[in-house]
Amino acid sequence: MKSSRTTGLTLTIGILAASLCGATYWFLFEGAIGQGENDLQAHLAIFKLEGSMASAVQLGSSSKRLLVRNKPSSLERYLAREGWQKSDQMGATAIFERNQPQKQTLYASCGLYSPLYTICDLSL
């Protein structure tokens, strides 16, 4: 009797845990599965982003590609740490400038990856 009760409880907890994991995965990656060739890198970056509570993280090993939260100031806050200030916005491209040591311009071309995340390509 006790063995079947323990087995039933274990099975119930397992089903609940699997459901919670599935719901969490769906919430994070809703609409993102199959978006492109970098799905694995993007999914790993999402876990890193959510674990660190940062506003943006590098996508893969490239410092010129970022995964950013879909909040208006996320990219600005991330780049402000490096001295960049937003100077203009042209469609999906944001333009940033800094004057150290000489004037530089950075272009951030961003595209929606999922309802929660954006991928931005940076170029000087």
- Rounded Cα distance between 73 and 94, Å, is 11
pLDDT at 38: 60
Compute the CA torsion angle 42, 62, 105, 120 (nearest 10 deg).
-10
Q: Tens digits of per-residue pLDDT, 38-70?
A: 677 887 888 888 888 788 999 888 789 999 988
The sheet carrying 117-123 orders its strands as 56-59, 62-69, 117-123, 104-112, 93-98, 85-90
pLDDT at 31: 54
Residue in 19, 122, 116 with CA at minimum distance from that of residue 70: 116
Q: Where are the domains of the chain?
A: 31-123
- Rounded Cα distance between 47 and 108, Å, is 22
